[in-house]
Amino acid sequence: MKILAFTDLHGDKKATEEVLEKAKEADIMVCAGDISDWGKHERAILKELEKAGKPLLLIPGNHELKEELAETAREFSYIIYLHKGSYQFGEYIFFGYGNEGFALEEKEFESIAKQFKKTIPKGAKVILVTHGPPHGTELDYIHNRHVGCKSITKFIQETQPILSISGHIHESSGLKQVFGKTLMINPGPEGKILLV
């Protein structure tokens, strides 16, 4: 399967055009939050991405109001709103959590993740999608310190998803790191095609 992963578009038209071009190669699109800039141009960006003709898994970032994004997403049949939920695509199961990106620990994420782990079908390949990055990695290192979420790191350690997609830290755009069996990546606004 080919995933087009992207994050932190912030309503940028040029980045949206690049995502659309890359989507031609993809089976599915995944946005790890901040598709808009405080809701500005949110609907227009989603209308533009609809042209790709591919499913879009979407979570909110810290630049979206979760309820408003969920409501807007319901207007589009191609969008699967993944926040606090999961979605199975073939043998792959996506688990998503859109967060503010600044918390060192996310108790709500831990609670939802605990329930999610009980539902993972045997043999399924898990793909984690969060806005904030896991703590203690190359993806969360900024201003000489790690600012990611320890709860996400713990989930990765315990579950070993095949892939962890996150964003939020613009300085780590395009970076990736292998952590155990997990490829962790910040695909940035222009997006990356990931073969899984």
**Domains located in the chain, CATH noted:** 2-195 (3.60.21.10)
Residue with more model confidence, 143 or 57: 57
Would you state the pLDDT for residue 41? 86
Q: What is the pLDDT of residues 88-99, one digit of tens each?
A: 999 999 999 997
Q: How does the average pLDDT of the chain come out, rounded? A: 95
Q: What is the pLDDT of residues 42-100, one digit of tens each?
A: 999 999 999 999 999 999 999 898 899 999 999 999 999 999 999 999 999 999 999 77
Would you state the pLDDT for residue 7? 98
Would you state the pLDDT for residue 121? 87
pTM, to two decimals: 0.96
Scan for tokens 């699967």, then name that residue: 80
How far from 73 is each of 2, 46, 81, CA to CA, in Å? 23, 8, 7
Element (H, E) at 23: helix 13-23
Would you state the pLDDT for residue 99? 75
**What average pLDDT does the segment 98-120 reach?**
92
